[in-house]
Structure 1
Amino acid sequence: MKKTIGLLLFPGFQIVDLAAVTVFEVANAMPGGPYYEMHMLSEHGGPVASSSGVAVMTQPFSAPGFDTIMVAGSMELIQASAPFVDFLRDASRASRRTASICTGAFLLAEAGLLEGRRVTTHWALARELQRRYPKTRVEEDRIFIEHDHVWSSAGMTACIDLSLALVEADYGVELAREVARKMVVYHRRTGGQSQFSALLELEPKSDRIQTALTYAKRNLRKALSVDELADAASLSRRQFSRAFRLETGQSPAKAVETLRVEAARNMIEEGNHAIDVVAREVGFDDPERMRRAFLRAYGVPPQAVKRAARAAA
């Protein structure tokens, strides 16, 4: 029996959130499908314009009766109408689970659905969500969170990770993996993964420095000397060192440490690996060096990150 999903839209919604629908569409085309039935909903029905100006045809709100109710997000915070909030509240109570994308978490909170629950949203607005709704437990550096049948995700493309997680929860990891492969998604990010990326933070401006950083990220277990990185960038050692610092504001050694710390944190949060195994896998000579790097990056040792991940799980 197909699971029904109602996606609530409003004028000015962020159209990239429709990528969440694509996950369910692709799942339906897999062997054994269709698995889902999608309904685009709005307060009055008819075409609803996104923030980009592209409109989507919707059905008007009706008697709630969906397996999953989802709320889209927006580029700017919007003030939802009373009928919208009322329907969301009623639909959530009548559904097996509720989910928000990006700033849709604000609408869940307005409907009183987040009190005492762990929740995430776009990192740029996480603190505002906590300020407005102090009874929520906002975690600003998460891709998605599920707490007591309420799911929430970060912004933009995190809606894909959220929907893949919903598919996995419904039909298993193999189907979710096949959907991700069909969508040419490199992998489904786990909920605990950081919204931030060391490569984005470094923000190299040239292809050659980007190539060197990508090479480093793929070969963290290696020593990654400046000469090796310069070779990957097809530059002399002197040219590479000068260009690297100009473009990233860091030395190559510091940037490699940043990549290693990020990879180590992901391993710790996503698995049950021993600390010394993590240190070896990401290229630290020993756990003590990794501990010092964690203190510089996060202010806490790896063991504290591991305890926090266990507590969240």
Structure 2
Amino acid sequence: MSTNIVGKISLLIALVLFSLPAISAEKHIGILVYDKVLTSDVTAPAEVFGVATRKSWFSDYKVLLIGVDRDAPVVTTEEGIRLTVDKTIYDDLELDALIVTSSYVMDTLFENKDLTEFLKKQAENVSWLASNCSGAFLYAHAGLLDGYTATTWAGGEKQLQREFPKINVIEDRNVVVDRNRISSNGGIPSYQGALVLLAQMSSKRKAKEVFETIQLNRLIPWTEVTRYFPEK
């Protein structure tokens, strides 16, 4: 094959590659996990975003379960389900969204200085911070809800307000959105919180597609999600 032909082929390949759309860098949605975490606080967003990542419009995202302990590849939830950890708070992580979960006893987490620093560092870079149930207390202890409106586990709102008066705590509302902070009551409402977050990261139409894919429409109408969308 002559040098001239080889040159033309190389030029053609270069032109084709240059004309292809750039491949988006992989983005990450982190979900905090640890022993005795409440299962639904993890599995609800993991299912919502896991389904979304299998859609062409969200395929550049990946869900990561982020552990609190440096050497604990597996955690066991309060309900006895074993979860494999993808990364830990000690890894160098670039997240687009961080979802903080809860457990019945969280004092050791509040006292974990490494975890607090991790939350503060992520808050400087992520697009979204979300919490389920008493996960809001983790953000509160790190000062990341000061000046924001938020909620926590149903029945724990007064405690959150009393302990952190700089937060505007909302009662009797499953999901609260304030700028780039989203908080939910946890448990089953974690699905609503995850869908609200997904809608903010994509669109209402696409979030509804996931809502129907997981058949949540068999239990509640779509309006039970859209009612928590922030007013534009």
**TM-score w.r.t. structure 1 length?**
0.58
Alpha-carbon distance in structure 1 between the residues aligned to 2:127 and 2:202: 15
Seen in structure 2, the aligned counterparts of structure 1 residues 79 and 192 have a Cα distance that, compared at 3 Å, is farther
Counterpart residue type for residue 205 of structure 2: E
Pairing 1:174-193 to 2, within 5 Å after superposition: 174-186=205-217, 187-188=221-222, 189-190=224-225
Secondary structure of the residue aligned to 2:166 is: coil
Alpha-carbon distance in structure 1 between the residues aligned to 2:225 and 2:81: 31
Report what 1:168 is aligned to: 199
Report what 1:14 is aligned to: 38
Report what 1:94 is aligned to: 125
Alpha-carbon distance in structure 2 between the residues aligned to 1:55 and 1:127: 33
Secondary structure of the residue aligned to 1:37 is: strand
Which has the larger strand fraction?
A: 2
Counterpart residue type for residue 181 of structure 2: V
Report what 1:56 is aligned to: 83
Alpha-carbon distance in structure 1 between the residues aligned to 2:192 and 2:64: 20
Q: CA deviation at 1:96?
A: 1.3
Alpha-carbon distance in structure 1 between the residues aligned to 2:120 and 2:76: 23
Deviations 1:249-292 (A, max 9, x none): xxxxxxxxxxxxxxxxxxxxx9xxxxxxxxxxxxxxxxxxxxxx
* 1:144–1:192 CA contact under 8 A, matched in 2: no
Runs of at least 5 residues in structure 2 that lack an aligned partner in the other structure: 1-23
Report what 1:74 is aligned to: 103
Q: CA deviation at 1:35?
A: 4.4
Alpha-carbon distance in structure 2 between the residues aligned to 1:21 and 1:177: 16
Report what 2:11 is aligned to: none
Following superposition, which runs of at least 4 residues in structure 1 exceed 4 angstroms of deviation? none
Alpha-carbon distance in structure 2 between the residues aligned to 1:141 and 1:159: 15
Report what 1:30 is aligned to: 55
Q: CA deviation at 1:50?
A: 1.1
Q: CA deviation at 1:79?
A: 3.1
Identity of aligned residues (%): 25
Q: 1:123 aligns with which of 121, 136, 154?
A: 154
Q: CA deviation at 1:23?
A: 0.4
Deviations 1:172-217 (A, max 9, x none): 1111111111111123424756xxxxxxxxxxxxxxxxxxxxxxxx
Runs of at least 5 residues in structure 1 that lack an aligned partner in the other structure: 194-269, 271-308
Deviations 1:47-67 (A, max 9, x none): 112111222111222123110
Seen in structure 2, the aligned counterparts of structure 1 residues 104 and 182 have a Cα distance that, compared at 3 Å, is same
Alpha-carbon distance in structure 2 between the residues aligned to 1:139 and 1:192: 15
Counterpart residue type for residue 51 of structure 1: E
Alpha-carbon distance in structure 1 between the residues aligned to 2:169 and 2:226: 14
> What is the count of residue pairs matched by the alignment?
197
Whether 1:145 aligns to 2:176 is yes
Whether 1:104 aligns to 2:142 is no
**TM-score w.r.t. structure 2 length?**
0.77
Bigger-Rg structure (1/2): 1
Seen in structure 2, the aligned counterparts of structure 1 residues 86 and 151 have a Cα distance that, compared at 3 Å, is same
Q: CA deviation at 1:154?
A: 1.1
Alpha-carbon distance in structure 2 between the residues aligned to 1:32 and 1:94: 23
Q: CA deviation at 1:70?
A: 1.1
